């Protein structure tokens, strides 16, 4: 029995050795091919959706750029702090551009459209692709609500050769905003470095105006059930947020309340050079942040380094901290 056992053991060991050798020769050549496989530099499709009551909200990634610290205006102490923090974390001012899609069940509504080919030298313009990845087409969009007419929020509406990207959509923008950027008289008087903002706004709006798809509001109209205008003046003359509510849950699309989130939440008084009325922009931000930190409102912020660009505010010291929505494979927002 013992001998037989040893033979069996020896045979099984031989078998195992042969198996290992066979496997090794089998995997040798495919393994070499695997090692030569090219690396893939693209990420997961840039969308993330969740429910706010009965609404389906989808964040649509447009691209990422770097915010220049010289575009910020603050006290010397605050700005020295920014330079020091940037030294420790060179990515502190990296910021995405994001638009948002709201499916109400009746209408498909886009809030801001990303930069398209009008801003950022090719770094942006992925929003329409993100929308398709999320299962929708640009043709399906019924309404576009625009927070303001800077090219990084409306550039995605129109191609460089003047075609509407959302051919069936009616675009809505505050009257004060439309009147300001689309006025040839105001544009003519604007400083030279502000001229490109007027030119892009006019070129982007043109095909929608021609198709009678460009609409302005003064704030008292009812465009969408359960949606309220939130005037947020300062950044631009008609800068407007949109607050949707459903079944007791709320979400605010706040446009450019912050550009450099990690600086301006800690120091709400720090403004951006793009704020047309710096004093009003700082006052609007202060009031809004204080209000939102006391309420349970989800915030959709186009410019943040934390995709999916959705989160809440919490009071922290003299400023606020951001509590981001993080990726999960469920979509009910509680
Ligand atoms: Zn802006």
At 2-53, the pLDDT tens digits run 444 454 555 555 555 555 555 555 555 555 556 789 999 888 889 999 999 9
Q: How confident is the model at residue 255 (pLDDT cuts 50, 70, 90)?
A: very high
84 lies in the same domain as 16: no
Structurally, the chain folds into a number of domains equal to 2
Q: Which residue has the higher pLDDT, 65 or 127?
A: 127
Cα 151 to ligand 1 centroid, rounded to whole Å:
8
Structural domain includes residue 333: no
Residue 44: per-residue pLDDT: 82
Taking only the tens place, the pLDDT of each residue in 272-317 is: 999 999 999 999 999 999 999 999 899 999 999 889 999 999 999 9
Instruction: With a cut of 50, say whether residue 87 has pLDDT above it.
Output: yes
CA of 276 to the centre of ligand 1 (A): 10
CA of 256 to the centre of ligand 1 (A): 5
Averaged pLDDT for residues 235-239 = 97
pTM over 0.95: no
- Is 235 a member of any domain? yes
Going through the chain in order, the beta strands assigned E by DSSP cover: 47-52, 55-66, 72-73, 94-103, 108-111, 143-145, 170-174, 214-217, 227-231, 240-246, 249-253, 271-272, 298-300, 310-316, 319-324
How far apart are the C-alpha atoms of 21 and 320, rounded to whole Å? 62
Cite the beta strand spans of 123-262 per DSSP E: 143-145, 170-174, 214-217, 227-231, 240-246, 249-253
Listed in sequence order, the residues at least 6 apart from 84 whose beta carbon sits closer than 8 Å to its beta carbon are: none
The pLDDT, as a whole number, for residue 3 is 45
Is 187 in the same domain as 129?
A: yes
Q: Are residues 104 and 6 in the same domain?
A: no
User: Measured in angstroms, how far is the CA atom of residue 96 from the centroid of ligand 1?
Assistant: 13
The helix/strand count (H/E) of the chain reads as 9, 15
Q: For residue 176, how far is its CA from the centre of ligand 1 (angstroms)?
A: 15
Distance 236 CA to ligand 1 centre (A): 7
Q: What is the CA radius of gyration of the chain?
A: 26
Domain of 25? 1-41
Q: Which residues, including other chains, have CB under 8 Å from residue 147's CB and lie 6 or more apart?
A: 111, 112, 153, 232, 239, 240, 241, 242, 253, 254, 255, 256, 302
- State the residue for tokens 């006290």: 75
Q: In this structure, what token pair is assigned to residue 20?
A: 């290992």
74: CA distance to ligand 1 center in Å? 18
**One domain, residues 30 and 54:** no
Q: How does pLDDT run across 121-176, given as a tens digit for each residue?
A: 888 999 999 999 999 999 999 999 999 999 999 999 999 999 999 999 999 999 99
Examine the domain organization and report whether 267 and 295 are in the same domain.
yes
Q: With 0-12 CB in 10 A as exposed, 13-18 as middle and 19+ as buried, what is 333? A: middle
Q: Are residues 161 and 36 in the same domain?
A: no
Residues 24 and 108 grouped into a single domain: no
Same domain, 231 and 84: yes
Q: What is the pLDDT of residue 203?
A: 98
Separation of CA 174 and ligand 1 centre (Å) = 14
**Percent of the chain at pLDDT above 90?**
78
Centre of ligand 1 from the C-alpha of residue 32, in Å: 51
Residue 215's DSSP bridge partners are 172
* 144 and 285 assigned to the same domain: yes
- End-to-end CA distance of the chain, in Å? 68
Residues 247 and 295 in one domain: yes
Cα 158 to Cα 15: distance, rounded to the nearest angstrom: 68
């Amino acid at each position: 029995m013992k001998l037989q056992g040893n033979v069996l053991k020896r045979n099984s060991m031989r078998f195992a050795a042969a198996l290992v050798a066979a496997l090794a020769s089998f995997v040798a050549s495919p393994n070499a091919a695997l090692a030569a496989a090219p690396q893939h530099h693209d990420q997961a499709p840039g969308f993330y959706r969740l429910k706010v009551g009965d609404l389906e909200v989808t964040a649509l990634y447009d691209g990422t750029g770097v915010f220049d610290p010289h575009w910020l205006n603050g006290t010397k102490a605050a700005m020295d702090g920014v330079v020091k923090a940037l030294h420790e974390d060179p990515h502190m001012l990296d910021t995405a551009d994001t638009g948002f899609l709201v499916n109400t069940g009746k209408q498909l509504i886009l809030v801001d459209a990303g930069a398209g080919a009008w801003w950022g030298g090719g770094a942006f313009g992925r929003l329409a692709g993100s929308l398709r990845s999320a299962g929708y087409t640009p043709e399906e969009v019924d309404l576009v609500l625009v927070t303001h007419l800077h090219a990084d929020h409306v550039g995605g509406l129109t191609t460089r050769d003047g075609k509407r990207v959302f051919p069936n959509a009616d675009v809505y923008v505050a009257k004060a905003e439309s009147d300001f950027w689309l006025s040839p008289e105001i544009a003519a008087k604007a400083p030279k470095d502000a001229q490109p903002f007027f030119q892009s706004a006019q070129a982007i709006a043109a095909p929608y105006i021609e198709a009678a798809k460009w609409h302005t509001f003064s704030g008292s109209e009812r465009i969408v059930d359960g949606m309220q205008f939130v005037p947020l003046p300062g950044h631009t003359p008609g800068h407007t947020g949109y607050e949707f509510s459903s079944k007791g849950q709320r979400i605010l699309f706040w446009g450019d309340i912050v550009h450099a989130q990690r600086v301006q939440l800690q120091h709400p008084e720090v403004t951006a050079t793009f704020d047309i009325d710096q004093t009003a922009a700082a006052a609007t931000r202060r009031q809004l942040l204080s209000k939102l930190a006391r309420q349970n409102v989800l915030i959709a912020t186009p410019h943040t380094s934390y995709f999916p660009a959705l989160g809440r505010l919490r009071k922290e010291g003299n400023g606020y901290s951001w509590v981001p929505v993080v990726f999960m494979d469920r979509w009910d927002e509680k």
